Structure 1
Amino acid sequence: MSGHANMITGIVYLPEGDRVATCSRDQTVRVWDATTGEEEGEPMEHGTVVNCVGVTKDGKRILSGGFDSKLRVWEVETHKLAEVWEGHELLIYSVTISPDGEFVASGDGGGRIVIREAKSGGEIRHSFETRSTVESLCFSPSGEKIASSHYHVIRVFDVATADLVLGPIKAHEHFVVSVLWSLDGSYLFSGSSDRTVCKWDSVTGDAVGEPWQLEGHTAEIYSLALSPDGTRISSASQDKTVRFWDTDSGGPVGEPLEHAGAVRALAFSPSGEFIAGGVSDKTLSIWRVPCPIPEHRPVKTFSGHEGRVWSIAFHPDGKQLVSCAEDNFIRIWDLETGEEDGKPLEGQGKDMYNVLLLPDRKRLASGGVDKMVRIWDLESREVVAELRGHTESVRWLDVSLDGRYLASGSFDTKIKIWDLETGAIERDTMSMTADIYFVKFSRDGTKLLAGSNGDGMSIWDWRSGELLVGPIDEGNGTIRSVLWLKDDEELLCASSKGTLRRWDALTGNPIGEPFKAHEEILYYLTMSGNGKYLATASGDDTVKVWDAETLEQLVVLSHGGDANYVTFSPDDKFLASACDDKQIYLWDLSQMEAMKQSDNASFLDVRHRSTDGRSTN
């Protein structure tokens, strides 16, 4: 893509992935259509050489910094200059925006770092000296820290206080041109003009393994970029190539990309499917990433159960995970360390089928083969109540939104509602004709839905015991899991045939056709707290994450056996899954939009997207 009159020095994708912004020594900032290669609108005239460019999280404003020591803020749609932010006295080398979009950080040739609010006015929060040129800046994934690279060192600062919390780390013998954080924030990566990348523990500053020798590059490195899924680092070099490296091993992946000029700047598309390179011959190129999208890997694996893990639940504070399994134990896990937190809670049967944390955050409930519902005190790890009444295994539990009532469904075909304050049975007249697999209160707490192995699902007014809807026969396998949607007026059901289907919760009529989500039985279905995503767990050894509105498949997470259960963390940044292989897996979904793999049929239509590679000079 031609248009600049001098080499490109910086590049960034806009959040939607359909446009790219570049800056250049020709003193301009330009916006390009990432599909057609056409320049959009007029160039934005910065007035001096521009070294760096960034875009706000909402995609509405572009920031540029350069030789005039000022940050200029441009409106994306009009290309008009909106603001000029002061704060530096020397030329600006780097600019970056925090993951939550709240802050902008910039670094200059004298070593000053300025952290300011990203909103209009750009109010400065911190301005401090490091006494050496700031080559690059990168916020941690949490936004709580910021890393900077300088001549030979990297430093890490606390964003809230501007205190130095790590370093200076003597990283390389030559210029450190880029610093990056791993996707989970555990590691830092530094890239040097000496053609090496080093990996560092972000807490201790210790080196992790030996420096990566970027074999294949024959000249100095200009910049690095991290893929949105965190599995690859790309490197741009004076040798006119872009190469890709595995973030775990440091080994090369895929084939190098070649260009007619030295590649100065890099940016992955939000999907990770494409990479854009700014080149010294004044052109912008966009390539399809030449290495396959790797299998997503869990950030933590929790091992300790001696049987299939049936159910898991996050503590509301997001710091612990609770699990129950075939081994008759409930285990509590520390999410930060990945270790078991304290002694396990032991039942009195073979299987513990279901566990959930009660809204008071002090107790949990469990059901299993011993036919009882047990209430446990989290602090003492002791049983504080045994709710007796079922004559077969308790398969499923659900708690009302106000935390007052607990519903239990059993293989004895009975449903019971328990008063958690007294332990008494509030209602026990609801039943089905076969083993009950799930029970679920409506969001308003007035209705109860249950599904069985033989007669579909039914909806009751649980206080009166009146059957309102059903039995609903899915006709496409046993319904195994369900969600209430749209103010309790619709249901989304998961079946043993691997399908999802919507139902009218008022009439019991189906809405649309079944949607094939998995090749094998679909065990569990859940929705993120923000309502944007669905997750499904299946006997095909996968968990899949979907766009809740369109049912577009976003990511597939492979397991070592049947995936029995899946749940989102309270902040929706992580997903935990329970597996037949006795493990629990924690997956980082903080970059959900970047993890899209392919378009799939939605409920309403089939969408098609071009798969052609793009490169325009």
Structure 2
Amino acid sequence: MGEFADKLAAQSPAFQRAYLGSLAPSLVKSGNLEKYYQTLTNFDFITAKINYPEFGVQPLIDDYDLIDGEETLNYSEYNSEKVKSLKLIQGALRLSAHVLATDKQQLASQLHGRLLNQQMPKKIQALLAQIKQEKTTPWLCPLTSSLTPPGGRLLRTLNGHNSYVYAVAVTPDGQRVISGSQDKTLKVWNLATGEELFILKGHSGSVNAIAVTPDGQRVISASGDKTLKVWNLLTGEELFTLKGHSDSVNAVAVTPNGQQAISASSDKTLKVWNLLTGEELFTLKGHSDSVNAVAVTPDGQRMISASGDKTLKVWNLLTGEELFTLNGHSSSVNAVAITPNGQQLISASWDNSLKVWSLATGEELFTLNGHSSNVYAVAVTPNGQQVISASLDNTLKVWNLTTRKELFTLNGHSFYVNAVAVTPNGQQVISASWDKTLKVWYLATEEELFTLKGHSDSVNAVAVTPNGQQVISAALDNTLKVWNLAIGEELSTLKGHSDSVNAVAVVPNGQQVISAFDDNTLIVWNLESGEELFTLKGHSDWINAVAVTPDGQRVISASADNILKVWNLETGNELFTLKGHSSYVYAVTVTPNGQQVISASGDNTLKVWNLADGQEIFTLNGHSSYVNAVTVTPNGQQVISASGDNTIKVWNLPTGDELFTLNNDSNSVNAIALTPNGQQMISASSENTLKVWNLSTREVIATFTGDSPILCCTVAPDNLTIVAGDASGKVHFLRLENMGGNS
């Protein structure tokens, strides 16, 4: 511990609580801003405040807001550069709040991952130096800035649902966010702090849509269980259930007077309900496919529905009469929003576009193109000037409705973005995603201060050269990148295919790289020149994994065609095929002596093969879901496998016996790697984490949480440098610090 922590630890708990709680406010109140600056940039203070039971992350974040008081501007010690440092640290803590709420031990790695940039102020560079000097327990230290830095549009992440988040709404006072999920619950959040306030439980199916009444007192949820529920938003009490639809309820809207709700369903109808009595008033029929969305005009006179039949319909809300139909989309229409003046409506479709229509005439005014996949949701800012769209391409786009131009894209979700809402003041956007999170974004901000390098799509595999100097990453963006391992600098890009790169391996001589593609081929590259040497063809489906024998003479490929192939690396000839799995082969490795191959499959098994004759030796049974990763200990005695059943299993290779199982909580393990000395194992998970395990004690000794699911990992020959790739395209370079004799 540092000097601050040592002195504090010697005091009574009552003193510690009072001191930590009043230190920052008292310094600002007394005008001692220099001491305030020093305190808020001191790692000891930050650690103590976060770890103290009665405080935590949010009270610490609040301490940084004290500098914004009107009186502080008049203090002689007020320093704008130091204030900038405070705001960047505060922003980093806010971005990492959802991680630190469950794992405070990651404070050091989170600050490093978000603040490690040469352009950062000296105060922040000094803070990072202090962290490295004073941190005494094992931790993963980012060598490059690979987490979303502060100063950009992303404000915070709301983490708590255990399945896809389908819906989001903001209360009229702008203070709370309500989310709906496939996990059958609604959650109510404090928007200012990110705190989960309470959960609404009662649906027996997914919560697909939510709407808040204009008075902010009730929320209506639409569900896959064919019902809607009306809740008291103050108490969390369920008031009543609206029953009548014969299929999933996909959308709900509330009239401006708060007296009626309109629901849209997969049963091809809309229903209008009395919100006071729960009575169904009438049903609107006319669509020939699922009704996916509904919106009400600001005057409460009309409503617009969007359907899988590729149309929108405009209805008279008082009489239930269909007024006219809007035709123009070439695929299902998923969402609709109306401008505040009631003159235009914006529709979002599976044809990857948004269309803007005149509500008076039904005329299509123009189309907004830019998303690369289905557009699933749309919202309009309160001033009617901007449109925000959410897409299955994992992004949100902000458009200027007057100029018809895309303003910018919000990147950060690692899976489909299903819903979007704008705060009443028009300053923030909240998005909901299949990645189980909600994200809060600044809509108006300065240009992003710092940018992160990487691929433009998921990094599927990483490999280190035998000399430990370079890393090769393979990605869904059809490229391989070569990096300098010491500094994380990109050296070159290898392009040769028009399809996803799924796997990569380096030949033991360090001179060639083999990559596997979605187009069923492998390419052998000259690493120094970047030249494509030759292509290996023979699989009938995409290739998931590739391995090279220790002598560098043979390559083994694993494919979705359920087989493995063994190739002569010198000639490019296929030697033989390994058949036996009944599903995709996801991973493959070779024993250190080069005599055996171990494969992992979607049939929940691993198979051990004789590489000399291609015969199956035996099968390892024990996983209850697909096996997607496998490695062998350096002594060749043990096999380690990872599975979609959220476990890692360690097997005795000579006997085939299962030795023990490591549980990875509630998420699947995507990849595993061993340190060359065989003492530690690294696992990469869909819960965005990288874990380092001590194999002898079976304990996790260090954890790093990224912004996206971590899909792959590898370890350098030094036993300490770890490289991982994630679903957003980032490559993380990390060093395992404070390992003592374990390295």
Residue 69 of structure 2 is matched in structure 1 by 159
Residue 54 of structure 1 is matched in structure 2 by none
Which AA in structure 1 matches 2:84? L
For residue 364 of structure 1, report the CA deviation from its aligned partner: 0.7
Which AA in structure 1 matches 2:230? I
Correspondences of 1:392-541 after superposition (within 5 Å): 392-470=247-325, 472-485=326-339, 487-512=341-366, 514-541=367-394
Q: Are the aligned partners of 2:189 and 2:196 in contact in 1 as well (CA < 8 Å)?
A: yes
Residue 566 of structure 1 is matched in structure 2 by 420
Residues 459-511 of structure 1 show CA distances to partners (whole Å, capped at 9, x for unaligned) of 011211222111x2224222212222374333222211211222232333322
For residue 234 of structure 1, report the CA deviation from its aligned partner: 4.1
For residue 176 of structure 1, report the CA deviation from its aligned partner: 9.9
Which AA in structure 2 matches 1:348? H
Residue 32 of structure 1 is matched in structure 2 by none
Correspondences of 1:259-274 after superposition (within 5 Å): none
Two-structure CA RMSD over aligned residues (Å): 4.5
Q: Supply the distance in 2 between the matched residues of 1:596 and 1:508 (Cα, whole angstroms).
A: 44
For residue 183 of structure 1, report the CA deviation from its aligned partner: 5.4
Q: Are the aligned partners of 2:310 and 2:330 in contact in 1 as well (CA < 8 Å)?
A: no
Which AA in structure 2 matches 1:420? L
Q: 1:388 to 1:581 in 2, by over 3 A?
A: same
Residues 581-608 of structure 1 show CA distances to partners (whole Å, capped at 9, x for unaligned) of 11111223341677999xxxxxxxxxxx
Q: 1:489 to 1:339 in 2, by over 3 A?
A: closer
Q: Supply the distance in 1 between the matched residues of 2:217 and 2:165 (Cα, whole angstroms).
A: 23
Correspondences of 1:122-137 after superposition (within 5 Å): none
Q: Supply the distance in 1 between the matched residues of 2:116 and 2:428 (Cα, whole angstroms).
A: 17
Q: Supply the distance in 1 between the matched residues of 2:412 and 2:235 (Cα, whole angstroms).
A: 36
Q: 1:573 to 1:432 in 2, by over 3 A?
A: same
For residue 420 of structure 1, report the CA deviation from its aligned partner: 1.4
SS in 2 for 1:552: strand
Residues 146-170 of structure 1 show CA distances to partners (whole Å, capped at 9, x for unaligned) of xxxxxxxx996563456999x989x
For residue 553 of structure 1, report the CA deviation from its aligned partner: 2.2
For residue 541 of structure 1, report the CA deviation from its aligned partner: 0.9
Q: 1:410 to 1:300 in 2, by over 3 A?
A: same
Residues 422-457 of structure 1 show CA distances to partners (whole Å, capped at 9, x for unaligned) of 222233244422110001111211011111101511
Q: Supply the distance in 2 between the matched residues of 1:554 and 1:588 (Cα, whole angstroms).
A: 12
Q: Supply the distance in 1 between the matched residues of 2:81 and 2:340 (Cα, whole angstroms).
A: 50
1:302 aligns with 2:158: yes
Q: Supply the distance in 2 between the matched residues of 1:424 and 1:131 (Cα, whole angstroms).
A: 61
Correspondences of 1:189-268 after superposition (within 5 Å): 234=119
1:384 aligns with 2:239: yes
Residue 201 of structure 2 is matched in structure 1 by 346
For residue 347 of structure 1, report the CA deviation from its aligned partner: 2.5
For residue 303 of structure 1, report the CA deviation from its aligned partner: 1.7
- How many residues end up aligned between the 2 structures? 367
Q: Higher helix fraction: Structure 1 or Structure 2?
A: 2
Q: Supply the distance in 2 between the matched residues of 1:230 and 1:559 (Cα, whole angstroms).
A: 20
Q: Are the aligned partners of 2:343 and 2:360 in contact in 1 as well (CA < 8 Å)?
A: yes
Q: 1:484 to 1:315 in 2, by over 3 A?
A: closer
For residue 578 of structure 1, report the CA deviation from its aligned partner: 0.7
For residue 398 of structure 1, report the CA deviation from its aligned partner: 0.5
Q: Are the aligned partners of 2:340 and 2:384 in contact in 1 as well (CA < 8 Å)?
A: no
Q: Supply the distance in 2 between the matched residues of 1:299 and 1:330 (Cα, whole angstroms).
A: 22
Which AA in structure 2 matches 1:330? L
Q: Are the aligned partners of 1:427 and 1:462 in contact in 2 as well (CA < 8 Å)?
A: no
Q: Are the aligned partners of 1:469 and 1:505 in contact in 2 as well (CA < 8 Å)?
A: no
SS in 2 for 1:433: coil
SS in 1 for 2:309: coil
SS in 2 for 1:506: coil
Q: Are the aligned partners of 1:454 and 1:478 in contact in 2 as well (CA < 8 Å)?
A: yes
For residue 209 of structure 1, report the CA deviation from its aligned partner: 6.5
Residues 295-323 of structure 1 show CA distances to partners (whole Å, capped at 9, x for unaligned) of 95733222221211000112233332111
Correspondences of 1:168-179 after superposition (within 5 Å): 178-179=82-83
Which AA in structure 2 matches 1:435? S
Residue 187 of structure 2 is matched in structure 1 by 331
Q: Supply the distance in 2 between the matched residues of 1:131 and 1:392 (Cα, whole angstroms).
A: 62
Which AA in structure 1 matches 2:184? N
Q: Are the aligned partners of 2:308 and 2:331 in contact in 1 as well (CA < 8 Å)?
A: no
Which AA in structure 2 matches 1:508? G
Q: Supply the distance in 1 between the matched residues of 2:338 and 2:80 (Cα, whole angstroms).
A: 52
Q: 1:492 to 1:576 in 2, by over 3 A?
A: same
Q: 1:460 to 1:232 in 2, by over 3 A?
A: farther
SS in 2 for 1:511: strand
Q: 1:341 to 1:250 in 2, by over 3 A?
A: farther
Q: 1:232 to 1:545 in 2, by over 3 A?
A: farther
Residue 177 of structure 2 is matched in structure 1 by 321
For residue 520 of structure 1, report the CA deviation from its aligned partner: 0.1
Q: Higher strand fraction: Structure 1 or Structure 2?
A: 1
TM-score normalized by structure 1? 0.52
SS in 1 for 2:83: strand
Which AA in structure 1 matches 2:263? S
- Unaligned 5+ residue runs, structure 1? 1-127, 136-153, 170-174, 190-207, 214-228, 237-242, 252-290, 598-617
Q: 1:164 to 1:322 in 2, by over 3 A?
A: farther
Residue 583 of structure 2 is matched in structure 1 by none
Q: Are the aligned partners of 2:420 and 2:432 in contact in 1 as well (CA < 8 Å)?
A: yes
TM-score normalized by structure 2? 0.43
Q: 1:589 to 1:321 in 2, by over 3 A?
A: same
For residue 557 of structure 1, report the CA deviation from its aligned partner: 2.0
For residue 515 of structure 1, report the CA deviation from its aligned partner: 2.7
Residue 106 of structure 1 is matched in structure 2 by none
Q: Supply the distance in 2 between the matched residues of 1:451 and 1:469 (Cα, whole angstroms).
A: 13
